[in-house]
Amino acid sequence: MLDTTKKYLHHRMAVVFIENKVETVLNKDGKIVKNRSTTKDIINAATIQGTFSSRFQITGIDSAREARNLALLLRAGSLSAPIEIIEERTIGPSLGADNIAKGVMSVIAGFVLVLLFMVVRYRVFGMVANIALTLNLIMIVAVLSLLQATLTLPGIAGIVLTVGMAVDANVLIFERIKEELGAQGNIQKAISSGYDKAVLTIADANITTLIASLVLFSFGTGPIKGFAITLSIGIITSMFTAIIVSRAIINKIYGGKKKLEELSI
């Protein structure tokens, strides 16, 4: 526009509003066809008073209403070329339902594999972690239900990621307990020290992820926000179940025993 207005300074320039229309009708054979038509309206023909840059003025408008309409049409026509619909296709709900079903199946499959791994690797402590993990999943779904959130594929991805993060927290705690058990030899103190020393590491890891999810929620749109919400809820519930719930169950199992010779971990 800069070169054009510089070349045609003090000449009149027409602003043309181009609208492409598509009308679906039946032809003589009874088949559905689409008639495309284009309408062109001159919405302004002002004199170029100066070269156009990022800001410019148009003179010769008769009324304030015409000026407002022109401004609205100029904003609406921000594309450099008119849009023409080449093909329209309607996708039924079965495709979306199939994607959701596959997403739910992936959550279940990953959840079951994690449960089996924890039981095999950590025995009784693994079973405790599985209880906490199950409660974590229930809490996520419950909070999403209270918020009346729609379950989407990014949301399912957030749940799967949360399951992995919750398991990581339990693994950190259990490995720390093993280290303390080798260093101290006292089972009760090893359990207490393991939880106390692993809390800061777990909190640091989850807080950084929570900050990232808040940034995604602030600057993202649509599915990205859904993923960020699910991930944020999952981070909070996973910290609660891994640090508080699992510790309460472990204390219930081993806390009443005055003397322990072996720890099933």
The domains found in the chain, sorted by start residue, are 2-76 (no CATH), 93-254 (1.20.1640.10)
* SS3 at position 177: helix
195 vs 208: CA distance, rounded Å: 20
Output the DSSP codes for 201-256. HHHHHHHHHHHHHHHHHHH--THHHHHHHHHHHHHHHHHIIIIIIHHHHHHHHHTT
What is the CA 118 to chain-centroid distance, rounded?
Answer: 28
What are the per-10-residue average pLDDT scores of the chain (265 residues)?
Answer: 74 76 78 80 74 65 70 57 53 68 84 90 90 92 84 82 87 89 78 88 90 88 83 92 91 71 65
- Predicted pLDDT of residue 79: 47
- Predicted pLDDT of residue 135: 93
pTM across the whole model? 0.60
- Predicted pLDDT of residue 78: 47
